Amino acid sequence: MSAAYSPEPSSLLLGNCTVLDARVVDGMDPVTDAGVWIRGDRIAAVGRYADVAAEARAAGALTNVDLDGAYVTPGLVNMHTHFSLSLPGSGGDNVKGMGAYDLAHYMADGARRTLRSGVTTVRCVAEKDHADFALRRAINAGRTSGPRIYTAGRALVCTGGHGHESNDTLECDGPVGFRHGVRSQIKAGADLIKVMISGGIAGEHESIHTPQLFTDEMTAVIETAHAWGRKVTAHAGPAEVIGAAVELGLDCVEHGYQLTPEVAARMAERGTALVPTLLVTRCKEFFDELGVPEWMQCRSLGAGPRHLESFDMAIAAGVEVLLGSDMPPFWEFEGTTASVRELEYMSERIGTARAIHAGTRGPIRWLGAESDLGTVEVGKLADLIAMDADPLADTSAFRDVRWVMKGGQIVRDDQNQEDVR
């Protein structure tokens, strides 16, 4: 573009709203009668409407957006996402049977629905055939609509380990094999590494207790990923397996079905986060919809009480807990989406303010994107959602998200019946 042609960025002034974000856990009050000035893809000003409007109008032409009394928050972040999920059963078999073109369209549809639901950022933790990288490129290029994607590519497993039945995992063995596995995902474009270090609820010939990596293999994964500047998250259930990985420098635990107070305390000391995925042990309706076999349903639902105890131990120890549904983020479940239902479960035990943190700023910090996302502040990307009820009073307010913006572009506006992209 020549210097002679430099178009002004789009300019939007949001008004008639209340703005709040995860800084409420630090004592910051919501901003009532608020205004948010969006210039291009970023927030140029936020505060009392009269002050923001004066600043925005002094800068030139802008479009006013009346949010009709809505509450505005950052978009939600789902840290345990699978757009190509294929659990045992008929529903999963249908996904496994898709060819490359069908899978791409299936995942793109899921990404679009995820963004419309108010989830503006996701962390994918095992996707098929590296289709997640193509999806991310398409979204970034504007060819399709979807959230910001941070992805692990294919998860690393031992031969015959958890999830080996699908091509969203890569079988490795021994330290050399796992080092190669890490590097292969980074070569493909992975932002983080996912590794299966124990059995789980979806493996017929294993149990949650089954350890699946030796210490030298876990060491190889964590050391190699860290050397390349990537964090590591691990599918893990039993406390002894988790504890060993935490000592080696593990950055995050997925599920954590069977923590102990001692291991939870060590996670807090070492800064290891937990994505509890509470839904996966209390979602019979979802399992029935996908035709999940009885053996898996029994194992999953039977683990529910201990799973909640484990989550409570993590909270008591001060572990950073982050929102992640494991179910597709947009999936309709118990009257809302999987992301919101997971947030509601978390809120019941940690309160609304901490739940909002767990669904916005906390995940963004883990992802290392806090300079751009996670709060409603000047200079940050305008990834915002709006709803009629106060989420600080009840996180069920997120059930009624009616307006979604990503990067300064309105992608959903129910009142004006707009689905822009």
Summarised one tens digit per residue, pLDDT across range 135-186 is 999 999 999 999 999 999 999 999 998 878 889 999 999 999 999 999 999 9
pTM of the model: 0.95
Split into its structural domains, the chain has a count of 2
User: Which of the listed residues 334, 352, 367 is the one where a domain comes to its end?
Assistant: 367
Residue 421 lies inside a defined structural domain of this protein: no
Phi, psi of 418 (to 5 degrees): -110, 130
**Any domain includes 222:** yes
- Does 401 share its domain with 347? no
CB 19 within 8 A of CB 36: yes
Predicted local confidence at residue 209, as pLDDT? 77
Look at residue 139 and tell me if it is in a domain: yes
Question: Which tokens is 92 given?
Answer: 């999963």
pLDDT at residue 395, as a whole number: 98
- The residue type found at 266 is R
Does 249 share its domain with 320?
yes
Instruction: Report the alpha-carbon distance of residue 120 to residue 74 in Å, rounded.
Output: 8
CA–CA separation, 48 vs 204, rounded Å? 57
Same domain, 228 and 358: yes
Looking up residue 110, the CATH number of its domain turns out to be 3.20.20.140
Q: Does 51 share its domain with 146? A: no
Task: Give the number of residues written for the chain.
Answer: 421
* 352 is a domain residue: yes
Helix (H, G, I), strand (E, B) or coil at 97: coil
Output the pLDDT for position 420.
47
Pairing relationship of beta strands 252-258 and 192-196 according to DSSP bridges: unpaired
Query: Residue 390 sits in a domain of what CATH number?
Result: 2.30.40.10
- Same domain? 263 vs 276: yes
Measured CA to CA, the distance from residue 224 to residue 337 in angstroms comes to 36
**pLDDT for the residue 8:** 60
Same domain, 314 and 404: no
Are 201 and 313 within one domain?
yes
Q: 35 and 120: one domain?
A: no
Question: Considering only CA atoms, which of 150, 305, 327 is closest in space to residue 230?
Answer: 150
Residues 98, 60 share a domain: no
In a domain, 5, yes or no: no
Spans of the chain, pLDDT less than 70: 1-9, 418-421
Same domain, 19 and 148: no
The contacts of residue 376 (CB under 8 Å, 6+ apart) are: 19, 20, 21, 36, 43, 46, 72, 73, 74, 384
Q: Which of 331, 352, 367 is the last residue of a domain?
A: 367
Whether residues 113 and 194 share a domain: the answer is yes
Residues 80 and 70 placed together within one structural domain of the fold: no
Residue 28 domain-assigned (yes or no):
yes
pLDDT at residue number 163:
76
Residue 332 maps to a domain = yes
Residue 3, in any domain of the structure: no
pLDDT at 5: 42
Structural domain boundaries enclosing 387: 11-75+374-413
